[in-house]
Structure 1
Amino acid sequence: MSQKPTVLVTGASTGLGAIYADRFARRGHDLVLVARDAARMQELAKRLRTEAGVKIDILQADLTKDTDLAKVETRLRDDKHIGILVNNAGAAAHGNFLQQTGDELANLVALNVTALTRLANAVAPRFAQAGEGAIINITSVVALAPELGLTVYGATKAFVLFLTQGLHLELGPKGVYVQAVLPAATRTEIWERSGRDVNTLTGVMEADELVDAALVGFDRRELITIPPLPNADQWNTLEAARQAMLPNLAQSHAAERYRAKAA
């Protein structure tokens, strides 16, 4: 691309999405902002047009609705100026698994999993054909920690982590960069919307610090970026242990430990 690519950001009206929009605008990228709250996006766009001098389009969309999601997919497929997708839109549900309803969980999966996957799928073929482009998927450290009790939310974020790793293997050789960003507790409106008080938590990172750290990982072309993790060797050790298992997973017979006769 001769010019800086346009960046499409989902969940762009507030929180991490709004900060990603701000940071990419200040880097000189035009933007396409996607969220449900058009008024907030208009306010953000007005400020960034003035402060950064970039072009900004707004797509009001509820990504849990097929018609709205299809509109964003079409933009990603057809707009050759878009060279970076920030898959940020996401939500958490109230309560724990026993308290959550089927409809609540379906909406959670629709946004955190289905919409994110479809948007990546919409843009990936064009990126692969061009031999360039980037997809940033916002997941969570909860993907690594079922002990935290956010069962379905964590499962959706584990899906996003796996998806990113798989896309890296498939798209990386074609010149497409894919990044998974794993925040821990971050001060955004997701807490209030899921009925939790962020002020009762410890170790909460400010959203701007999280995005700035994630963009350091982006510039380094990291596959996995975990801004709160002090020691990267811990992730590397976990990944090495997983890799070490792979040759042992394809066997013609059950492992000996499962074939011992009962006493």
Structure 2
Amino acid sequence: MSPRPLAVVTGATAGIGHVFAQRLAAAGHDLLLVARDHVRLDAVCAALAASHGVAAEPFVADLSVDTDMARLADRLRAEPRLAFLVSNAGFGTRGTLLTADPEKQRQMLRLHVTCTHELVSAALPGMTERAAGTIIVVASVASWSPTAGNVNYNATKAYQRVYCEAAATELEGSGVHIQALCPGFTYTEFHDRLGSGRKGIPGWAWLSAERVVDESLAQARSRGAVVCVPGKRFKLIVFLLKHAMWVPGGLRQRYRRDRLRVE
């Protein structure tokens, strides 16, 4: 058995998940990387293993499917080296409750809500027994912004954030740290998959995935606040969303548009 700690990252082939995999491999973790596209996943694992001299194992799964979710949860329970879990897999949709694809909405609920709980619950027994471990759940700035056209996306991201905040109170003194990472607009494939791209979103509003991950990891390693909002601009936006009815520059109005979602 490898002496290195193991990091598990879901949604690991692109964007924030890929950067987490890179950073954790560079820090000396073996990797179990989870994604649906086996060709892309195999390539990412091979590249990270070659670059960092760690083991990188692909785990092909669609985590919106109960059987795949259960397979991964079983694997987490059986891993004595599990030190890091990044629950990053997620997606957005277009349309209102009346117009959006109902099955896509159900998939989102399973992936963002049920899967979050199942994976965290599977990781916790071993981590608490070893009195060590870090769990990062990738939520969103959108968790503070109930908007038309984003009902289930925003609601499930709010669930993830509150879940982590509540779980942290149970984990005090356990040696296990949990974080809700709440990025704003991030350069990834997320908006491209929605079909909206980056049109109409000013350049200053975007952060790189590298910056998002680096701020998240720095806050987690220092055992900082449970909620991590990368970037001063988004910390300000969150403050205003929590405490005011307006956002400078009309951003709150933009948050109401169904085509515009944060990561």
Tell me the TM-score normalized by structure 2.
Answer: 0.84
Task: Tell me the residue number matched to 1:90.
Answer: 90
For residues 90 and 237 of structure 1, the distance between their equivalents in structure 2, rounded to whole angstroms, comes to 26
| Amino acid of the structure 2 residue aligned with 1:30 | D
- CA contact under 8 A between 2:49 and 2:55: conserved in structure 1? yes
Distance 1:148 1:141 in 2: 15
Structure 2 portions without partners, runs of 5+: 244-263
CA shift, 1:119, in A, is 0.5
Deviation at 1:152, TM superposition (A): 1.2
Say how many residue pairs are matched.
239
How big is the shift at 1:131?
1.3
Q: CA offsets per residue over residues 155-183 of structure 1, 9 Å max, x none? A: 00000001001110112322110011100
Contact 1:144–1:158 (CA under 8 A) maintained in structure 2: yes
Report the Cα offset of residue 186 of structure 1: 1.0
- Superposition deviation, residue 104 in structure 1: 1.7
Which residue does the alignment assign to 1:215?
Answer: 217
Residues 179, 221 of structure 1: 8 Å contact kept: no
| Alpha-carbon spacing, 1:224–1:3, altered in 2? closer, same or farther (3 Å) | farther
Q: Which has the higher contact order (CA 8 A, sep 6+)?
A: 2
Structure 1 residues 238 and 64 mapped into 2: Cα distance closer, same or farther (>3 Å)?
A: closer
Alignment of 1:71-220 (within 5 A): 71-147=71-147, 150-202=150-202, 203-220=205-222
Unpaired stretches in structure 1, ≥5 consecutive residues: 241-263
Letter in structure 2 aligned against 1:151: V
Counterparts in 2 of 1:67 and 1:174: CA distance versus 1, 3 Å: same
One-letter amino acid matched to 1:227: P
Q: Does the alignment pair 1:224 with 2:227?
A: yes
Q: Distance in 2 between matches of 1:236 and 1:15?
A: 26
> Match for residue 252 of structure 2?
none
Q: Distance in 1 between matches of 2:165 and 2:95?
A: 30
Aligned equivalent of 1:251: none
Task: Verify the 8 A CA contact 2:142 2:184 in the aligned structure 1.
Answer: yes
CA contact (8 A) 2:144 2:242 kept: no
Instruction: Write the deviation string for residues 164-205 of structure 1: whole angstroms up to 9, x where unpaired.
Output: 011101123221100111000112222122232224322122
